[in-house]
Chain A
Amino acid sequence: MTEPTLTIEAVKEALGDLGTVEQVRGNRIKVTTKIEKVREAILRAESILNCDHVVQISAVDNGKSLELIYHLTGPHRLVLALAIDVPRDKPEVPTTSDLLPPAGIYERQIHDLLGITFRGHPDLKRIILNEDWPEGEYPLRKDWKMDPNKFYGGVHEEAK
């Protein structure tokens, strides 16, 4: 197996000024940064740290705010996680779909489930929820509850 060549020192040097860098375990490094710096961090991770593959964009609602974690990897086999906090009252993040093409589809999914808007996304339409799902309902938010008066898709009661 190829030895991981990406060290925490290299990550600190490339991304240290954008946030805090920590080694989570053997082959995982996490960088906690800010919304406005995330594009810069991804650009640098791609060009300096040789991260050419986006593994996943994880989205979490921690009750207080929403979190996005971009997991990137490359030939060094190390997973670099870039974590940002997204405020609940203004869930807007610049898109990264132009930097990482597969992110486009993941961002659409996150937009559906958690209601984070990706500014500059070319086509942020519904992908994972059904087309008759009501607008503005984001089921993976912790405070989401089904509204009995709303129609969430399927067959209308009167049509049965």
Chain B
Amino acid sequence: MAEVIVPVGPHHPALKEPVNFKVVADGERIVRLELDVSYNHRGIEKAAEARDFVRVVPLLERVCGICSHSHTTVFVKGIEEAMKLQIPPRATYIRTIVAELERIHSHLLWLGVAAHEIGFNTLFMWTWRDREAVQDMLEEMTGNRVNYGTNEVGGVRRDLTPDLIQAALKRLPRLEERVAKYAEMVNREETMLLRFKGVGFLTKEQALKLGAVGPTARASGVDYDIRRDDPYIAYADVPWKVITDTHGDVYGRTLVRVGELQQSLKIVRYCLENLPAGPIRAAPPRAAPKAEVLSRYEAPRGELVHFIRTNNTDKVERLDIRTPTLANWTSVAVSLVNQNLADIPVVVAAIDPCLSCTSRITVVNAKGRKTGEMTWDELSEHGREFYRRGGRR
């Protein structure tokens, strides 16, 4: 059969940011994947150069809706390093609590989306219901469900009162119970085993060579986690362990994320129970001296990097952001080769891309004679239908 180009994207309101892939397919088999992420370039790096350290934080919070705390933490800790500013331990613990709650809600969201892509909507409903509890906790602590506005250069903006700590601790047992249930379910639920095992496979060598990060890399046995390797905020004080797996496929990535959910709940509990007393911020100087900082952070999706250069002023001279999704793209493009067209939704979703995908898929054959349109939902449906028929090409 002739090769067919399947453009996927760029707009869909259900997923987060727009991207367009051109999938070159031979029948059901994927030959090559090309990527275009230009649709949502907002020029934040340029805009950051024009704002002082107080006003730039809310801007960076809006780089991403899911990992908003990641972007502000990685930035303020970079600026604090440039200023050589020691922030109070209570502030680092509060940052850690919010960071781990963010990881929990992000991984629960991912588990739901992955379940939805394979047609397992019961799990989707369950995880998203549990995610609500996490977002309620975040709202109680910070005042917001998504862009928390917790960080500022020098510390955090809101203290945790004893009431808030008690309320949060009261919610944890239920979440721990639910996550334990998902951990058990992943190992024996047949739909998930059938659709996740062997799909989007990456060997350890490939993961290293292609620069995969986060759960994608750890599911292939690559033992990288910035929280341990380049410890920041309170991670060095908290007992927890890095979760890795050797399956290397979407199944492995699911196991890693579920394992991380359990670790994150442990970290949140430890930080809430051992919150140090004291102030929540140190007064920062207005300007930062000339410095160059590479600030690294383990976001829910993997290593997030802000390269910051300061120049004796109250603004950054350059802010270069490398998001985990961009780092993982190279590996997605490779792990989809020779897979089924029907697996695109689940493999792409498996890196938990921070982007929105498609409303329209135009199916064109190689000579451009035949054109049809599919929505992302139709592609998902095609995936489910394809496997219902028994996965024959």
**Interface flag for A16 (CB, 8 Å):** no
* A71 CA / B320 CA spacing, docked (Å): 12
Cβ contacts under 8 Å, A75 to chain B = 223
**Interface flag for A129 (CB, 8 Å):** yes
**Interface flag for B126 (CB, 8 Å):** no
* A55 CA / B330 CA spacing, docked (Å): 13
- Least CB distance, A150 to chain B, in whole angstroms: 16
* A28 CA / B229 CA spacing, docked (Å): 12
* Contact status of A102 and B211, CB under 8 A, knowing A53-B224, A55-B296, A129-B38: yes
Nearest residue (CB) in A for B41 is A128
* A2 CA / B36 CA spacing, docked (Å): 38
**Interface flag for A134 (CB, 8 Å):** no
Q: Are B37 and A61 in contact (CB-based, < 8 A)?
A: no
Q: Which of A92-121 contact B (CB under 8 A)?
A: 100-102, 104-106, 109, 113
**Interface flag for B116 (CB, 8 Å):** no
* Contact status of A140 and B230, CB under 8 A, knowing A59-B320, A104-B330: no
Nearest residue (CB) in B for A103 is B211
**Interface flag for B128 (CB, 8 Å):** no
**Interface flag for B257 (CB, 8 Å):** no
Most buried by B among A2, A56, A140: A56
* A128 CA / B40 CA spacing, docked (Å): 8
Q: Are A106 and B322 in contact (CB-based, < 8 A)?
A: yes
Cross-chain pair count, CB within 8 angstroms: 84
Tell which of A56, A128, A139 touches B38, judged by Cβ atoms closer than 8 Å. A128
Q: Are A139 and B43 in contact (CB-based, < 8 A)?
A: yes
Cβ contacts under 8 Å, A27 to chain B = 230
Q: Are B294 and A79 in contact (CB-based, < 8 A)?
A: yes
* A78 CA / B220 CA spacing, docked (Å): 21
- Least CB distance, B78 to chain A, in whole angstroms: 12
Cβ contacts under 8 Å, B230 to chain A = 27, 77, 79
Tell which of A1, A101, A127, A129 touches B210, judged by Cβ atoms closer than 8 Å. A101
* Contact status of A55 and B305, CB under 8 A, knowing A77-B230, A102-B211, A105-B330: yes
* A19 CA / B309 CA spacing, docked (Å): 22
**Interface flag for B228 (CB, 8 Å):** yes
Tell which of A77, A79, A127 touches B35, judged by Cβ atoms closer than 8 Å. A127
**Interface flag for B140 (CB, 8 Å):** no
Q: Which of B290-323 contact A (CB under 8 A)?
A: 292, 294, 296, 303, 305, 307, 309, 317-318, 320, 322
Q: Which of B195-237 contact A (CB under 8 A)?
A: 208-211, 223-224, 228-231
**Interface flag for B327 (CB, 8 Å):** yes
Q: Are B307 and A69 in contact (CB-based, < 8 A)?
A: yes
Cβ contacts under 8 Å, A130 to chain B = 38-39, 41
- Least CB distance, B335 to chain A, in whole angstroms: 13
**Interface flag for B45 (CB, 8 Å):** yes
Q: Are A58 and B294 in contact (CB-based, < 8 A)?
A: yes
- Least CB distance, B233 to chain A, in whole angstroms: 15
Tell which of A54, A113, A127, A131 touches B211, judged by Cβ atoms closer than 8 Å. A54
Chosen A-B contacts, 16 in total, with CB atoms closer than 8 Å, are A24-B292, A52-B208, A53-B211, A55-B294, A56-B320, A59-B320, A60-B307, A75-B223, A101-B209, A101-B330, A102-B211, A126-B36, A127-B36, A128-B41, A130-B38, A130-B39
3 closest A-B pairs (Cβ-Cβ)? A102-B211, A58-B307, A56-B322
With A105-B330, A127-B38 known, 14 other A-B pairs at CB within 8 A are A1-B229, A54-B211, A56-B322, A58-B294, A59-B320, A60-B309, A71-B305, A71-B307, A79-B294, A79-B296, A128-B37, A131-B36, A139-B43, A140-B45
Interface set of B (CB-CB < 8 Å, partner A): 35-39, 41, 43, 45-46, 208-211, 223-224, 228-231, 292, 294, 296, 303, 305, 307, 309, 317-318, 320, 322, 326-327, 329-330
